[in-house]
Amino acid sequence: MAATKTAGELLDTAQRFVQHRGFNAFSYKDLASEVGIRTASIHYHFPAKADLGKALMARYRVALDTTLAKLDASNRSPKAKLKQFIGFYRATQGMGAICVCGSLAADLETLPEGVRDEVTDYIKGSESWIAKTIKAGVDAGDFEPDLSPTAVAASLLAGLQGALILSRARDGAPEVLNSVEKSFFLTLAAS
């Protein structure tokens, strides 16, 4: 049980570091100091930083999949589901952070291969869910029938990730994310 708790603390701390510093901007020494353990103890749980990165992204992806499954199981409209999805980015913005996946994607070329794969799978999964939800809105007549759900999904995800970065650079200014959300829903509006 203690080993699981320590691994969880390490992942929590690594996630915070990634969201505020980036994956390449912290070491096991930083992690050990923050968690209050020896560096060798980190290697027990995650032999290499690549293992830590893969575990972090796998956990992040499971959390996303669980959240999206709950949204899909709800009786909410596609628009309400998309608003809640955008709300997750608002929560991240409220912490003065950027998305773990967005942070890692910025470092993609320098990440270990397994971590890169997890990041690209996360992005594909997010875009796929957004596109599926947009299509449901199109099919229900709630959204513009002539749009491409796949293209609009990619645009929304790019806008949300970029909004977090700009907001952070502007001391948490929410207007960037507000503009992304407003533009997105204007694009979806049925004539």
pLDDT mean by block of 10 residues, the chain; 191 residues: 79 96 95 95 95 95 94 94 95 90 92 92 96 96 94 96 88 83 89 55
pLDDT at position 175 is 85
The answer as to whether 26 is a domain residue is no
* Count of domains observed in the chain: 1
Q: How many CB atoms lie within 10 A of CB 13?
A: 17
Residue 166's alpha-carbon distances to 102, 109, 122, 177, in angstroms, are 12, 22, 22, 9
| Helix/strand/coil for 189 | strand
Q: What is the pLDDT of residue 82?
A: 97
- Report the C-alpha gap between 154 and 94 in whole angstroms: 23
Alpha-carbon span 3 to 166, nearest angstrom: 38
Q: Residue 16 falls within a domain, yes or no?
A: no
Residue 18 resides in a domain: no
* Domain assignment of residue 48, yes or no: no
What is the domain range of residue 163? Answer: 54-188
In a domain, 167, yes or no: yes
Q: Does residue 14 lie within any of the structural domains?
A: no
- pLDDT at position 191: 55
Q: Is residue 141 part of a domain?
A: yes
The reported pLDDT for the residue numbered 167 is 86
Query: Is residue 153 assigned to a domain?
Result: yes
CATH code for the domain of 114: 1.10.357.10
Query: Residue 48 — left, alpha, or beta (φ > 0 → left; ψ -120 to 50 → alpha)?
Result: beta
Structure confidence at residue 75 (pLDDT): 87
DSSP 143: B
**Tokens matching residue 125:** 């999964």
